Structure 1
């Protein structure tokens, strides 16, 4: 990649000056000004999700309700999309990850070149467990006799209040060993997936959902595309508008885990926010309001003739 050093120096030398009007010929010109334009939707989001002393005063009763009644947090964390009638496929016990953590972190790269081969059900099990599976439980309600205590499961990534409003859907683009093409939903508490659709035409739509240029990444070469959705209300019930930020942050925690796990088992992965929202929501069968796609990650076999 050729970098124009003069242009780079010019951009880095810019100073924040909200009084300077800049032309709005393109997003580039608009946002290199480092100041929000009046009425900009990003500014409205930023301002309305700030934690201030005033908003904290409003937030207190809602957050306090969850603190005072742990059953609310338990119930919120257990809520799942309405897929109870879908077939449940148990995932096999996970393989351990032998690589040292520092090695996995240092060698992690976004690798866009994939071979078009599938991965096995065993591989998918290992990825999902280490990315977003249940890693432990804690007692949130005691009966007093040591029996039938209410246990809340915790997962492999941070979630504000342990509410887990982010859901993982897996589109198997290329068939692998014991892993047919189709659309699946991951159930962490069961370490299983629900079969949402095995119509090949459904997963073929992933190609239209991802908007990235095909010479940068071809999603049809991935083994699976993992779509993360946010059930925003589950976080906002406790944290108000700031809960929206927490959902986005949580999706990043999960995506990073998935990339590190993929790297540890020798698979390529690349996180993608470049998808058409309405098409992605339609593919996953979510309404785009109460639950909506927020992130996607392509995972597949390495194409050794592509990325280094």
Structure 2
């Protein structure tokens, strides 16, 4: 073999080796870049950020959406390779997925494969009226507002309780929902939760309680709820109203009067309001009002069913959120003069 031929073969071997080294280097770089992609946080993420995966969407569609919003610049090939390595190709569930700061492609694909969709919360606040509940539902983000076109009777019919008045029937709690859920489903669950709570608590009530039905307990609890937000006073205030019922005294509770005034309430009660007879005016009508006046929470229900013993028949607000109690009208009048009229002796 000539020296020239040998030099040619050596050159070819060198070129082949360089080509192999280039391929190896390219593969190494590609693997490094791919690994960095899989573990690096996505861009354009943060609190309240999310992405929707619609039914029938595939990985290509999801990646395109992420690219459009600037969350990823990686090619779709990287995403397909990662999904294949994770064995989640074709297993992505529809739904809304969170994009918190720091989330990686690997974590996002794992969420989608496991169906870990975003769960939103809606809180019904103790003491809300049904009108306030409806207003809050109408403002709730990512709920389907099916109730907006219905009146109160229509809402109750839609949730399967057509013969019930709505006030007081929904338990104040926090309810989780998914994007696109109906607000009627939230109401249905809150209604069922209140029914279960009454079924649980009513059999445990004080045996001497002058209430004939769980619904009467619900009415009394709503009054207690509106009279005080203090845990240490609920049972005391319930005790006052129970004793007034037992003694056939008017309840004379301002929150009930206010509820009966409806839109006519402008922030204060006048003497003429206390004298104006409505079904909810407990200054003119004996016994409990015809319906609850708010949505009572579980603590208020407990207080109504287990009122504190004692002889107090009156109470008046001190002005700091607490109340002072009295067993006689004369003592009560002195308390009113002191704490409301500022004429303390």
Normalised to the residue count of structure 1, the TM-score between the two structures is 0.20
**Structure index of larger Rg:** 2
Give the structure with the higher percent helix. Answer: 2
When you count strand as a share of all residues, which structure comes out higher? 1
Higher relative contact order (CA 8 A, sep 6+): 1
